[in-house]
Amino acid sequence: MWRTHWFPALFFLWSAMYAGDPFVGKWRLNVERSDFGGGPKAKSGSAKYKADKNGYLYESETVFGKGEVARLSFPVRFDGVVYPGTLDGHDLVFTAKKIDENSYNVLISDRVNGKATQVFHYTLSSDNKTLTFAWIKGSAEKPVVHWALLYDRE
């Protein structure tokens, strides 16, 4: 009889473990607080994290209007492995590196030489209500923030 209580307890522990992850969930782009650099300003956008083995499945969509939509999709796993993903339907390769519990980098690499060409930096606010996405281009010596998008938790 005591064995029948193990499954519900283990399921509850697993669910609680992912429910407490501050990244998991849906996020709405706050257009007014975001910085689009010299590019066009978005009209709307969203991001979504789903819990996945060893990390997340990440998807985002940024709507600029007139049928122009930027889409980004990839698994976020902190295991040092290079994974495939897509940006606007174009294939890319990347690896994710955890900085701390509330931030991580995604290093986008050149398929030919394996060098990181861009960095996506994700950070949660201390209250876990705001997600910041910084798109960093340039070199390690001269990084340039291309975009700084702020998302509010839905």
Other CB atoms within 10 Å distance of the CB of residue 58: 21
User: Residue 3, SS3?
Assistant: helix
Average pLDDT over residues 80-99: 87
pLDDT of residue 18: 40
Helix (H) or strand (E) holding 69: strand 68-77
Model pTM score: 0.81
Residue-wise pLDDT for 104-145, tens only, equals: 999 988 666 667 788 999 999 999 999 999 998 877 778 788
Walk me through the domains of the chain, giving residue ranges and CATH numbers.
24-153 (2.40.128.20)
Residue-wise pLDDT for 45-74, tens only, equals: 999 999 988 899 999 999 998 889 999 998
Other CB atoms within 10 Å distance of the CB of residue 27: 22
Distances from the Cα of 77 to the Cα of 25, 51, 53, 93, angstroms? 17, 10, 8, 13
Phi, psi of 8 (to 5 degrees): -60, -40
Contact of 120 with 133, CB cutoff 8 Å? yes
